[in-house]
Copies of this chain bind each other. A is one copy, B any other.
Amino acid sequence: MGLYEFSQGRRFLVRVPRGEELVAYIDRLVNEQGIAQGFISGIGAVAEATIGFYDQKTRDYHERELTGGLEIVSLLGNISRREGRCHAHLHVGLADHSGAMYGGHLGRAVVFLTELVVVEFTGRELERVPDEATGLVCWR
């Protein structure tokens, strides 16, 4: 089984300020703090976002841009190593003014207000490497 056990690291609540690009902000956060493995969850709102859908046959991403202000209903992901850096893999569910939801891989988003829960796992490293079965970059 692809099962990786860790020790408990630190735990944080994080407020991401208005105007920040969320994916770049989280990348900076995990690398500055040296959070190499862990769990991320978040809620809040964004001004706009780009979500991705990975086509399992053609093996490329389709992106969709959403604008007009959106609630972050669910931000969920994990942290591991990728090309020597700390890397967060994030999926997001967003709602528009009617409550209708859109979701996928989080490509980028401009924050209105975002509140994160970050839990660090330590004690061993977990690295992403290219994976032939999916065309993605996965835990070995």
Contacts and interface: CB of A to CB of B under 8 A. Distances in A.
Interface of A: 1-8, 10-18, 29, 32-33, 37, 39, 41-45, 47, 51, 53-57, 62, 64, 66, 69, 71-78, 80, 89-105, 112-113, 115, 117, 119, 121, 126, 131, 133-134, 136, 138-139
Q: How many copies does the complex hold?
A: 3
Given A43-B76, A101-B103, 15 more contacts: A6-B12, A7-B11, A8-B8, A41-B76, A43-B77, A43-B90, A47-B56, A53-B71, A54-B69, A54-B112, A55-B69, A57-B69, A62-B97, A73-B74, A101-B102
Contacts of A57: 69
Main secondary structure of the interface of A (DSSP, over half): strand
B99 A74 contact: no
